[in-house]
Each structure stands twice: as structure tokens, then as C-alpha cells.
Amino acid sequence: MLALPFSIVYNAAMKPEEAKDRKTGDLTHEKAPDGKRPARNQKVGERGEKTASRYLERCGYRIVERNFRCRSGEIDIVAVKEPDDAEDGRALPTVVFVEVKARNNLSYGVPSLAVTAEKQRHLLKAARLYAKRFGLENVPCRYDVIEILFLDGRTYLRHTRNAFS
């Protein structure tokens, strides 16, 4: 058995077409709108973002936006987490900017290794632009990383909160 640095914490209910992909290992059977096949890693990334979104929703997050693009880069998921105990009514929700890294093998190491210092800088710039555009400068925010491995028909997921600042 392969020893992973994290355990299985998520087992998504797969749609029939996703289950077929999982059995055959073929993630590239769909064609893009231009008629060309998308790159294999792009399909793995899209599948990872869908899996991460479902996971976050099940954990009580509200997905506000996916794939926000600006001149500084891209934010995979923007989510909102309401405070767990807002008895006094003054607690603000937290805006969570999520970077998703998905892989279907470990040939390049665990997915979080791809969140380099440069990638973090781009995400921070994009998040600042997002906050400014939507008037969220004074709202608490954090930066999370969700790494996903699709191996041997199983989904492995690790959610690192406050991964960087």
C-alpha cells in the first residue's frame, strides 16, 4: 500500500460519467468547445476544483466564485465561511481564497509542492484585487490550499487552512 502524507478524508459521490472516468483512468474523452481535446492536466485540475467545491460546501462554506481571473493571476475558489458562534452578532464572515492542486500520480510529488512562493504572491495580488473590486477590504480573509490526489480509484484530500499570508 502506498504511504501518503495524508489520509482519505473525502469520498465524493461520483456522477456516472465521473465513475466511468475513474474506472478507465481516461480524463480526456470530452472535447472543448473549439473541438480540441483539453490537456490531461487541465481535466484533472477541473475535476479537482469540482471535488474541492463539493467538499467545502459540505463543510459549511458558501462558494461565491470559481476561477476568478485578473491581470495578477487566478483564484481557483472564493468561498465564505460564516463564524461558528456569532452570539454577539458582531462576528464577520471570513472570505477564503482557495488554491486547489490536483494530481493523478505522485511523479512530481504531493500537490502542495506546486504552491511555490511565486504562486503565493500571485494569489495574494489577485485576492487584493478581488477584495477591492467587491468592497471587501475590511472583511477578514485567509488563504487555504486544498490538495487532491486521484489514485487507484480513490480520492485523497487535504485542506490546509491559513496555508500562507
Instruction: Look at residue 3 and tell me if it is in a domain.
Output: no
Q: Total structural domains in the chain?
A: 1
Domain assignment of residue 91, yes or no: yes
User: Where does the chain have alpha helices with state H?
Assistant: 16-24, 40-58, 117-133
What's the pLDDT at 9?
A: 44
Domain around 57: 16-26+37-164
Contact call for residues 100 and 76 (beta carbons, < 8 A): yes
Digit-coded pLDDT (tens) for 72-126: 899 999 999 988 765 556 678 999 999 999 999 888 888 988 999 999 999 999 9
Residue 131 lies in a domain: yes
Taking only Cα atoms into account, the Rg of the chain, rounded to an integer number of angstroms, comes to 17
For residue 144, pLDDT over 60 is answered with yes
Q: Tell me, yes or no, whether 76 lies in a domain.
A: yes
Look up the CATH number of the domain holding residue 42.
3.40.1350.10
- What does pLDDT average to over the chain? 80
pLDDT in the model for residue 25: 36
Task: Provide the pLDDT for residue 86.
Answer: 55
Q: Which residues of 109-130 are buried (b: 16+ CB within 10 A; e: fewer)?
A: ebbbeebeeeebebbbebbbbb
What was the pLDDT predicted at 88? 57
pTM: 0.74
CA nearest to 68, candidates 132, 161, 139: 132
**pLDDT by residue (tens digit) across 26-52?**
333 344 455 555 567 788 889 999 999
Q: Does the pLDDT at position 65 exceed 60?
A: yes
